[in-house]
């Protein structure tokens, strides 16, 4: 692919030879002749002297003097440009249309002839699989599940009964969707299970990471709205509502009946207590414990959560505690009357 074509696709300003042939993308520390690489921020500039890439994509704040004699493309957002360029080099994997003879499709299931059902998948009664869906081996698609067009279900995914999955959804290996919520009541002798009668709805363009678990609703539904991206090893409990275009990193745990707004960002290991409302555009740092509702546009951290600026200030104080403690001991020693028993100091 010619560099000029790539520059046009990423909407960048080209400096250098647009006829340069680009064969692939590589990190700046590994790029060789024929590669294009991306300086995602100014810190990457120190690696330029050793880099042998054929072309560079840089932000508008880059020191272009360091790139004299090299081919480079200036863009508004190098991170976005990298994502767009990577799509150009990603070789799509294709499968034969139809159902492999080693898969099992129940009689009342409806599978589009344009879907690809691979060996050892199981499609239960009443399930609906739309066109261009790919179901990898060893997947279970439960009773009356609906899977929308162009969705991909990777190996060993289990989709429980009546789950609804939208278009262009990606579900990575080992995910469990629509399982029972964790709901019990003590009857005086034992924990009695409360039947989970609701459903799980996954809207269009959602991506769900490996080994993530999302429970069905207790009486109504759990919903993950369109465009949301969920990392590996995430737990979302029953009755949760996740707003559109939200993002959550690995090991997030969301308890039952939580409502997340739109464009929420949760760092790794964030925990959210039950029946909490988190407003639009909230950002929570990794490890945050959210114990009560958070208003829109907040940035929080710590456990229990607080404004990020307060949490950062507390972390700075925490590092100084040993020194402050020693200073206090010295002050107390000077203030204590001579000969006073100091065993409690």
User: Which tokens belong to 27?
Assistant: 């990190």
pLDDT (0 to 100) of residue 315: 87
Domain boundaries, the chain: 3-89, 98-307, 317-345
pLDDT (0 to 100) of residue 344: 52
pLDDT tens by residue, 141-191: 999 999 999 999 999 999 999 999 999 999 999 999 999 999 999 999 999
pLDDT (0 to 100) of residue 317: 87
Strands 122-123 and 104-105: parallel
pLDDT (0 to 100) of residue 325: 87
User: Which tokens belong to 165?
Assistant: 């999955």
Contacts of 316 by beta carbon, 8 Å cutoff, 6+ apart = none
CATH architecture of 98-307: 3 Solenoid (2.160)
Q: What are phi and psi of 50, to 5 degrees?
A: -90, -10
User: Which tokens belong to 208?
Assistant: 């769900």
Which homologous superfamily does the CATH classification assign to the domain defined by 3-89?
Answer: MurE/MurF, N-terminal domain (3.40.1390.10)
Give me the active site residues, please. 238
pLDDT (0 to 100) of residue 93: 86
Rg (CA), the chain: 27
Query: The pTM is what?
Result: 0.89
pLDDT (0 to 100) of residue 340: 54
Q: Determine the Cα–Cα distance for residues 31 and 49; give it in Å rounded to an integer.
A: 12
Positions in the chain short of pLDDT 70 = 338-345
User: Which tokens belong to 232?
Assistant: 């590996």
CA 221 to chain centre: 22
């Amino acid at each position: 692919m010619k560099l000029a074509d790539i520059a046009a696709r990423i909407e960048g300003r080209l400096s250098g030879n647009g006829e340069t042939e680009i064969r692939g993308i590589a990190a700046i520390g590994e790029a060789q002749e024929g590669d294009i690489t991306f300086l995602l921020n100014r810190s990457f500039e120190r690696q330029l002297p050793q880099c042998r890439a054929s072309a560079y994509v840089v932000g508008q704040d880059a020191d272009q003097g360091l790139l004299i004699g090299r081919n480079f493309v200036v863009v508004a957002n190098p991170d976005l440009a990298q994502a767009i360029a990577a799509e150009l080099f990603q070789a799509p994997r294709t499968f034969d249309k139809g159902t492999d003879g080693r898969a099992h499709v129940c009689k009342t299931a409806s599978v589009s002839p344009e879907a690809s059902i691979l060996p050892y998948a199981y499609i239960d009664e009443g399930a609906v699989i739309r066109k261009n869906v790919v179901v990898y081996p060893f997947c279970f698609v439960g009773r009356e599940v609906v899977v929308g067009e162009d969705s991909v279900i990777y190996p060993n995914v289990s989709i429980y009964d009546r789950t609804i999955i939208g278009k262009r959804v990606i579900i990575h290996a080992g995910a469990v969707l629509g399982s029972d919520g964790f709901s019990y009541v003590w009857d005086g002798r034992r924990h009695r299970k409360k039947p989970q009668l609701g459903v799980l709805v996954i809207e269009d363009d959602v991506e769900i990471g490996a080994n993530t678990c999302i429970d069905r609703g207790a009486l109504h539904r759990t919903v993950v709205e369109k465009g949301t991206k969920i990392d590996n090893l995430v737990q979302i409990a029953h009755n949760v509502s996740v707003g559109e275009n939200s993002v959550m990193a690995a090991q997030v745990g969301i308890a039952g009946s939580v409502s997340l707004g739109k464009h929420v960002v949760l760092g790794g290991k964030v925990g959210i207590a039950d029946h909490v409302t988190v407003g639009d555009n909230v950002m929570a740092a990794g490890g945050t414990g959210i114990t009560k509702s958070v208003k829109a546009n907040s940035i929080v951290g710590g456990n229990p959560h607080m404004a990020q600026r307060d949490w950062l200030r507390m972390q700075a104080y925490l590092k100084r505690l040993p020194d402050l403690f020693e200073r206090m001991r010295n002050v107390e020693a000077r203030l204590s009357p001579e000969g006073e028993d100091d065993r409690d100091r």
